[in-house]
């Protein structure tokens, strides 16, 4: 309904919870370093629409007022399955 609504990510790192929007990165090394160390996880496939549900507090925009939504970390989506993290 809102133009600001974003597409959901397609992959999630099982180790750090990082996300990717690139289908090519699924099953590839994450390599993010959110805590100063390179993550050794891989991006798991979460490309199906059923893997995600739009974040309710921010209505899928990733923003609450002008700040990043804390419920979805600014993604605008939350995983429907807890196995990922
Ligand atoms: Zn990672
Ligand atoms: Zn949100």
pLDDT of residue 14: 87
pLDDT of residue 58: 95
Give the three-class secondary structure for 14: coil
pLDDT of residue 70: 95
Banded model confidence at residue 1, pLDDT cuts 50, 70, 90: very low
- CA 1 / ligand 1 centre spacing (Å): 32
**Residue 32 CA: which ligand is closest?**
1
The pocket of ion ligand 2, defined by CB under 5 A, consists of 55, 58, 69, 71-72
pTM: 0.80
- pLDDT tens across 9-67, in order? 999 998 888 999 999 999 999 988 867 889 999 999 999 999 999 999 999 999 999 99
Beta-ladder partners of 64: 67
Q: What is the DSSP string of 15-84?
A: TT--EES-GGGBTSB----TTSS----BEEE--SGGGEEE-TTTTTSSEETTEEPTTTTTSSEEES-GGG
Q: What's phi and psi for 50, nearest 5 deg?
A: -75, -10
- CA 2 / ligand 1 centre spacing (Å): 30
Hey, where are the domains in the chain?
11-84
């Amino acid at each position: 309904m809102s133009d600001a609504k974003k597409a959901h990510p397609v992959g999630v790192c099982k180790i750090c919870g990082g996300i990717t929007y690139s289908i090519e990165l699924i099953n590839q090394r994450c390599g993010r370093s959110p805590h100063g160390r390179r993550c050794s996880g891989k991006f798991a496939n979460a490309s199906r629409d059923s893997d995600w549900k739009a974040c309710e507090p921010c209505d899928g925009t990733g923003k609450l007022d002008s700040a990043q939504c804390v419920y979805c970390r600014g993604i605008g989506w939350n995983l429907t399955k807890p196995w990922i993290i």
